[in-house]
Copies of this chain bind each other. A is one copy, B any other.
Amino acid sequence: MNVIDAIRNRRSIRKFRDANIEDEKVNIILDAGRWAPSGMNNQPWQFIVVRSRETIDKIAQCTIYSDILRSANLLIAVFLDKDEMYDRTKDVMAIGACIQNMLLAAHSLELGAVWLGEILKEKEKVNQILDAPESLELMAVLAIGCPVERPTSTRKALDEIAHRGRYSRK
């Protein structure tokens, strides 16, 4: 799948059908995350892939979006590894780049995915469920599956967000 098309057509998918996703595909997604850029190439990310229905159910209880998690085929919990941090703002941006790579890779494999952030309000509980140490700070949970919807979305017009030469108030 073409890069620009993937960027333009990727949507957040919140409804999945029951299906198996091969480990090979999961590894392509993780590998895409791994190749994100980071400041000083510090790669401050760690991933936990969750396939067990029991564990998914426990994590689902940490968010108001439990139905999405329960219908997903697998989750990828994405953490900031605080032992690798050098600058919180830059490291958090690197995590965003890493997540976007994984979402684009999932889309290019014809899988659907959604980036869940609301669950961060229960991040300590998620760490506990996954045996993750305190040095790992939960940044997002990606719910991944075979899509059964093709939602649309919108963005601000380019001239609302892009300025030429210097800032020009709209």
Contact = CB atoms under 8 A, between A and B. Distances in A.
Interface of A: 1-4, 6-8, 10, 12, 27-28, 30-32, 34-37, 39, 41, 43, 45-52, 55, 87, 89-90, 92-101, 103-105, 107-108, 115, 117, 120, 129-133, 136, 139-140, 153-156, 158, 161-167, 169
A163 B96 contact: no
Given A34-B155, A37-B100, 7 more contacts: A3-B6, A4-B28, A4-B32, A8-B35, A34-B158, A93-B93, A97-B99
A53 to B, nearest CB: 12
Given A95-B96, A140-B93, A161 B47 contact: yes
A30 B153 contact: no
- How many copies of this chain are found per oligomer? 2
B153 A41 contact: yes
A89 B139 contact: yes
